[in-house]
Amino acid sequence: MIIVMQASAKEHEVEHVVTSLKNAGLGVHLSEGEFRTIIGAIGDEKLVRALGLEALPFVEKVLPITQPFKLVSREFQAEDSIFQIGNCTIGGNQVILMAGPCAVESEEQLLAAAEGVKAAGAQILRGGAFKPRTSPYSFQGLEEEGLKLLARVREKTGLPIVTEVMDQYTVELVAEYADIIQVGTRNMQNFYMLRELGKLQKPILLKRGLSATIEEWLMAAEYIMAGGNHQVILCERGIRTFETYTRNTLDLSAVPVVKHLTHLPVIVDPSHGTGNWRFVPAMSRAAVAAGADGVMVEVHPQPEKALCDGAQSLTIEKFTALSKELAELAAVLGKYI
């Protein structure tokens, strides 16, 4: 940590900071510049944070030097994490396609979607059972009944399922059914829930919050890993910006950044990222080319009948064409689907 003093800080105020650091067991390096004094604190940054030095009126700012996360970092583990899910692996050379409807609506709908995406090459089925919505007047999901339908369709098709959990109290319930548990964008910092997920030994798909920095996203992953569950899959799904033509701005640069900083796999959700089926194929290709370990795509047998997010769903026909393109792309990159 670097403590930058106010230009007007007096000698005894500098001394106050130095003593606080030393009392906390930290090394101190003092540097007196032309305008201000800079204090370098040598040792564990957590100890410095606990001192609350920013609250002192003679301290201008406190600058961290190292990343606040550990277990997720490349320093902690240099080689890529690879997780086994059913017959496929994520984080290695396989490109994973997770596909299916936004919300589970009925067995017919889900089975039609599942069979369609499986035939097209998808390895994992997605579908939401809990769908709390912005408007109190909209469809809110089939809840446990939806989880049962997912399990039934998994049995029929052999596709592992990824589905979302909404709070810490339903973690156990969802874990009973899901092969991968999804943390939605609004729950990325639901720390009570992250703590429960940390106790499982099951892959967690952690979506980036709508306005979360990459650092905050990785801290959420750290939360889960600190609890003992090291199977975290990151999922970029668009951030909020001033652009209104797309629903969100898909931040694909997060893919190489995350690959640089961490050993965790990262997938991309271009359906929520763009909010418009027209742009999903292009952004899926871009995600794979950027190095993503997979994509998560909304597919509905009849998008215009969807109870949720039809505007961003591909038909099975369009998804089939996309899957073929992605397979060719993966091959050029030394990967496969």
Which residues ranging from 39 to 78 are in contact with its own copies (CB under 8 A)? Answer: 40, 42, 46, 49, 51-56, 63, 65-66, 68, 74-75
Contacts of 208 (CB under 8 A, 6+ apart): 185, 188, 214, 217, 234, 235, 236, 237, 239, 251, 254
Minimum CB separation of residue 112 from its own copies in Å reads 16
Q: Between 308 and 337, how does the x/- string for binding to its own copies read (CB under 8 A)? A: --xx-x--------------xx-xxx----
Report the length, in residues, of the chain. 337
Of 11, 79, 155, 304, the one binding its own copies (CB under 8 A) is 304
Q: Which is nearer to its own copies, 1 or 159 (CB)?
A: 1
Within residues 209-248, the interface with its own copies by CB under 8 A covers 210-211, 213-216, 219, 222-223, 226-227, 239-246
DSSP state of 209: P
Name residue 56's beta-bridge partners.
none
Of 10, 156, 305, 324, the one binding its own copies (CB under 8 A) is 305
Q: Which is nearer to its own copies, 179 or 319 (CB)?
A: 319
Q: Which is nearer to its own copies, 172 or 215 (CB)?
A: 215
Of 19, 256, 317, 336, the one binding its own copies (CB under 8 A) is 256
Secondary element (H or E) of residue 62: strand 59-63
Tell me how crowded residue 248 is: count the other CB atoms within 10 A of its CB: 19
Q: Between 6 and 25, how does the x/- string for binding to its own copies read (CB under 8 A)? A: -x------------------
Name residue 42's beta-bridge partners.
27
Minimum CB separation of residue 210 from its own copies in Å reads 5
Within residues 92-111, the interface with its own copies by CB under 8 A covers none
Q: Check: CB of residue 242 under 8 Å from CB of residue 215.
A: no
Query: What are phi and psi for residue 204, nearest 5 degrees?
Result: -115, 130
Query: What are phi and psi for residue 11, nearest 5 degrees?
Result: -55, -45
Q: Please give the Cα distance from 280 to 200 (Å, whole number).
A: 33
Residue 156 makes contact with its own copies by CB under 8 A:
no
Q: Which is nearer to its own copies, 174 or 250 (CB)?
A: 250
Q: Which is nearer to its own copies, 77 or 89 (CB)?
A: 77
Q: Please give the Cα distance from 186 to 335 (Å, whole number).
A: 32
Query: What are phi and psi for residue 147, nearest 5 degrees?
Result: -60, -40
Within residues 174-213, the interface with its own copies by CB under 8 A covers 186, 189-192, 194-195, 210-211, 213
Amino acid (1-letter code) at residue 332: V
